[in-house]
């Protein structure tokens, strides 16, 4: 399986590679397509809606996911959030903010060779649980951290 993947990686990049992977049944079409944008997931209002649209309705809670963020964010418009996964075979990392108008903030696909750790900045409308969703070997895992916001980042 792993050998197969090396072979497909060598066989071609970009769309060709994704088509090959999809054909081999490793990923479902639209699952990790770079040019794609998961409209349903980003427009899902609640965390549950977003998870469902990503095909992750019941992720297991994992202690191997670290959310790097301050407990209190002074400015909700710019909240630095980093997520690091120690789960082997991590394929993607997503950041969801429970109480935002749309929960899903960002989703990162990590090809083999890219470290399962990303950092970005997000907006938070109010104090909320922040979830990190990790996909590893086709399974979903989740961790959460509450970030308190003293000044909201929506509408300001």
Partner 1 sequence: MADPMRIRATSKDGLTNVKVLMSHEMETGQRKDGSGKIVPAHFIQNVTATYNGKTVLSAQWGPAVSKNPFLEFNFKGGQKGDKIQVTWTDNKGEKRTDEAAIS
Q: State the Cα–Cα distance between residues 72 and 113, nearest whole angstrom.
A: 33
Residue nearer to partner 1 on the CB measure, 30 or 138: 30
Of residues 59 and 82, the one with the C-beta less far from partner 1: 82
Q: Are 154 and 99 in contact (CB under 8 A)?
A: no
User: Closer CB to partner 1, residue 78 or residue 151?
Assistant: 78
Query: Cβ of residue 108: shortest distance to partner 1, in angstroms?
Result: 5
Name the minimum Å distance from CB 125 to partner 1.
9
Residue 89 carries which DSSP code?
Answer: T
Instruction: Give the residues lining the site for partner 1 (CB under 8 A).
Output: 13-14, 32, 34-38, 42, 77-80, 82, 97, 100-102, 104-111, 113-115, 117-124, 153-156
Closest distance of CB 82 from partner 1, Å? 8
Choice between 25 and 101, CB closer to partner 1: 101
Classify residue 95 as exposed, middle or buried by CB count within 10 Å of its CB (0-12, 13-18, 19+).
buried
Helix intervals (H) in 12-102: 14-23, 39-43, 47-53
Burial of 113 per CB tally in 10 Å (0-12, 13-18, 19+)? exposed
* Cβ at position 149, least distance to partner 1 in Å: 13
């Amino acid at each position: 399986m792993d050998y197969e993947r090396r072979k497909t990686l060598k066989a071609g990049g970009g769309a060709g590679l994704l088509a090959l992977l999809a054909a081999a049944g490793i990923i479902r079409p639209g699952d990790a397509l770079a040019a794609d944008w998961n409209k349903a997931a980003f427009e899902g209002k609640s965390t549950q809606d977003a998870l469902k649209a990503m095909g992750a309705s019941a992720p297991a809670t994992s202690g191997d996911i670290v959310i790097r963020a301050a407990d209190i964010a002074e400015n909700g418009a710019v909240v630095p959030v980093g997520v690091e996964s120690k789960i082997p075979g991590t394929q993607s990392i997503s950041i969801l903010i429970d109480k935002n108008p749309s929960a899903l903030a960002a989703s990162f696909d990590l090809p083999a060779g890219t470290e399962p750790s990303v950092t970005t900045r997000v907006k938070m409308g109010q104090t909320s649980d922040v979830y990190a969703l990790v996909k590893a070997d086709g399974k979903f895992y989740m961790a959460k951290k509450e970030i308190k916001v003293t000044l909201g980042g929506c509408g300001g």
